Amino acid sequence: MSGGLPAFIEPVRLAELGRSLAGRLPLERLRRLAELLVDRRGEAEVRLDFRQEGRGRVVVLGRIGALLRLTCQRCLEPFDFAVDVPVHLVVVGSDAEAERLAEEEDPLLLGEGQALSLAEMVEDELLLALPQVPAHPPPGCGGAARPEAEAAPAERSSPFAALRSRDSEETKGSG
Tell which residue, 126, 2, 4, has the closest CA to residue 65.
126
Q: Is residue 150 part of a domain?
A: no
The answer on pLDDT for 24 being more than 70 is yes
Determine, yes or no, domain membership for 154. no
pLDDT tens for each residue of 147-174? 444 444 545 555 566 556 656 666 666 5
**Bridge partners of residue 159, in order along the sequence:** none
Whether 18 is in a domain gets the answer yes
Instruction: Note whether 11 and 90 are within 8 A (CB).
Output: no
Q: What's the pLDDT at 18?
A: 92
Residue among 124, 117, 120 at smallest CA distance from 85 = 124
Number of domains in the chain: 1
Q: What distance in Å separates the CA atoms of residue 65 and residue 85, rounded to the nearest whole number?
A: 6
pTM, entire model: 0.73
Residue-number span of the structural domain to which 88 is assigned: 8-145
